[in-house]
Amino acid sequence: MQLFFESRYACSPAEVEKMNTAQLRQNFLIEKLFGEDEVHLVLSYYDRYMVGGIMPLKETITMPCPEELKANYFLERREMGIINVGGAGKVTLDGIVFQLQHKEALYIGKGSRQVLFDSIEVNKPAKFYINSAPAHQPFPAKKIGGEKTIKVEMGSMENANHRTINKLIVSEVLEVCQVQMGMTELKTGSVWNTMPPHTHDRRMEAYFYFDLQAGQSVCHFMGQPQETRHIWMQNEQAVISPNWSIHAGAGTSNYTFIWGMAGENLDYGDMDHCTIGSLK
């Protein structure tokens, strides 16, 4: 197993206004999350949110604890959300096994000491997409999928944003400290996500784009509503969104994305909406 870890400093709106394309990508884009028997972790200084990916192939991968966390084990003072975006896999949590099929989720609370990751089939490896944030108290682990998912239909074909929002790790489904995660699936013919856009001053967010067909891309929009920027993204890449920034995207085809967030508020509806006509 190889661990690839990096930290990303927080940037103010004034700094982002002056960034060129390369600087935007360096600060906010996470280009690689999955490699054979590799662990990729990016620690953002926005709410000390962690974004990562684990793809076990030939071996069982034990969740590492980077030195930068100054902890005895990864979840000593953290909680974690996992969504499997690959083949069938399993997560063994202090001896208890959770099977995760494609697009199923698992929440793990603070205090779990050993987390093991495995793929069921080597030729169809699991891809565990991970979000993690500091936690102040432990909550029970819980698998979420199927009938436990809250589904919300939004948008329309006329506006090219017809989508299904799957609320997975949210306070409406289970108890968490900070981490909330869900998955938005765009219908065929729709390309816009989170449009009209919004900001939420009390929490940051991260987007992970996948299910993109070969040769297709997503243009992710960020920045203050009156000073927007964009980042072109490929399949299975993630982007960090500051609390002051919009987070929206348009693809050259339909796609799926996972949203994850943390901060002061667990209210999913805590948003400051922006009108499309106000964007600059």
pLDDT in tens, 56-72: 999 999 999 999 999 99
What pLDDT, in 10s, does the model give residues 154-183? 999 999 999 999 999 999 999 999 999 999
Strands 198-199, 227-233: parallel, antiparallel or unpaired by DSSP? unpaired
Domains identified in the chain, total number: 1
- pLDDT(101) > 90: yes
The CATH number assigned to the domain holding 15 equals 2.60.120.10
pLDDT at residue 271 in the model: 81
Range with lowest mean pLDDT among 21-35, 65-79, 127-141, 265-279: 265-279
Other C-beta atoms closer than 10 Å to the C-beta of 278 total 11
pLDDT-derived band at 102 (thresholds 50, 70, 90) equals: very high
pLDDT at residue 269 in the model: 74
Expressed as residue numbers, the domain containing 163 is 2-278
The CB-side HSE value for 234 (13 A sphere, CA atoms) comes to 7
Q: Which residues are registered as beta bridge partners of 84?
A: 128
Q: What is the mean pLDDT of the chain?
A: 95
Burial of 62 (0-12, 13-18, 19+ CB in 10 A): middle
Which SS3 state, helix, strand or coil, does residue 21 take? helix
What pLDDT, in 10s, does the model give residues 37-47? 999 999 999 99
Specify the pTM. Answer: 0.96
Residue corresponding to tokens 């449009």: 195
Q: Which residues are registered as beta bridge partners of 99?
A: 90
